[in-house]
Amino acid sequence: MQATGADVMKLEIAVDSITDLAPVFEMLTHCQVPLIALAVGSRGLISQLLGPKFGGFLVYGSLGGKSVPGLPTLVSLKQVYQLEHINPDTKIFGLVSNPVGHSKGPILHNPAFRHTRFNGIYVPMLVDDVKEFFRTYSGTDFAGFSVGIPHKEPAVACCDEVHPLAKSIGAVNTIIRRPIDGKLVGYNTDCESAISAIEDALRERQGINGVASHTSPIAGKIFVLVGAGGAGRALAFGAKSRGARVIIFNRNYERAKALADAVSGEALHFEYLHEFFPEKGMILANASAIGMEPNSDQSPVPKEALKAYELVFDAVYTPRNTRLLREAAEVGATVVSGVEMFIRQALGQFRLFTGGLAPEDFMRKLVLEQF
């Protein structure tokens, strides 16, 4: 194409995997003629978001707020990503997940990067094979990652080093490429963010009732956990560390049993969840995808059964007020949204991404405005 003598070239390709984009970025970097590279399809989205970093001549966005697979909206390009600030030195961060469309990470991390004057961009990365992804994008430009469903557990094996807490949980939600040697280091900021959000809400409830407590308000309580994936593991280990009695329900009973054994808890078959209320004042934590958009009409527990719980936590944050939380509030339980966990874990991630402090007030305000 260069040999034709064109002033500008446009290359449009279809990709089956996000890893197919690596040679496209290589072309953008080394092409001697201005090049527009467009990879169509949902797995090609970062071809537009990262194009300017690698020297792309221009990028495309969709008009009118319409969702086009592989194309960011013009509004997001101008307001969220602000690609005019991207240059060859910009560090790349992103959410490695599947699905990835629900993520609010870009609307949080990108403005926070600009607020702190950190030269970074945060993008959604639709990843099918997590091992292949990390093998392919091994350069120092790719500096850090959030890890989402279903990769939190498999990603542990992709790390060169794993923080002790994340290792004990068996799941990472944050991976940093260490600048001095390029090694991948895995962390888990889910655990403390979820448990501390639950504890703070319980303390506030007890404070209203005039009850003071110097130990964790979770200690000694039955902690009913729905889901045994990466987020579920973080909650199980966090609840165990605070002295709770952990009971785990999961559609796959064997996964529930394995996690229960790891935290000295108990696993029960999923169909018993609706009728499980051995005592009042229990804690319920949903760490499954039940109730997440587009299935926001679903709930893991019927409303009548929620009366046994003092507090209900839902890790799902899209929508912000899930059916589970609405019905729990209606029967008098204290509710904790996944948005609070999202904010806290994102603050932890941002500190790891930048090696510095996170602008907590700025990030909290941003999330609450956008959700």
Question: DSSP string of 124-192?
Answer: EEE-S-HHHHHHH--STTEEEEEE-TT-TTGGGGG-SEE-HHHHHHT--SEEEE-TTT--EEEE--HHH
Written as one letter, the residue type at 83 is L
- Which residue is associated with the tokens 């209606």? 330
Q: What is the phi/psi pair of residue 321, to 5°?
A: -110, 90
Length of the chain: 371
Beta strand pairing call for 120-126 and 184-187:
unpaired
Pairing of strands 142-147, 174-177: antiparallel
Tokens of 190: 């889910």
Annotated catalytic residue 167:
no
CA distances from 190 to 165, 193, 238 (A): 11, 5, 9
Q: What is the CA radius of gyration of the chain?
A: 22
How many C-beta atoms lie closer than 10 Å to residue 314's C-beta?
Answer: 30
Which residues touch 281 (CB under 8 Å, ≥6 apart)? 221, 308, 309, 310
Can you tell me the distance from the alpha carbon of 347 to that of 359, in angstroms, rounded to the nearest whole number?
8
Contacts within 8 Å (CB) and 24+ apart, 30-34: 31/2, 31/55, 32/2, 33/1, 33/2, 33/6, 33/7, 33/8, 33/9, 34/7, 34/8, 34/9
Q: Which of 53, 91, 104, 152 is catalytic?
A: 152
Helical residues (DSSP H) of 57-121, grouped into ranges: 74-76, 105-115
The first and second tokens of residue 269, run together, are 């078959």
d(CA 350, CA 305) in angstroms, rounded, equals 38
Positions marked catalytic: 152
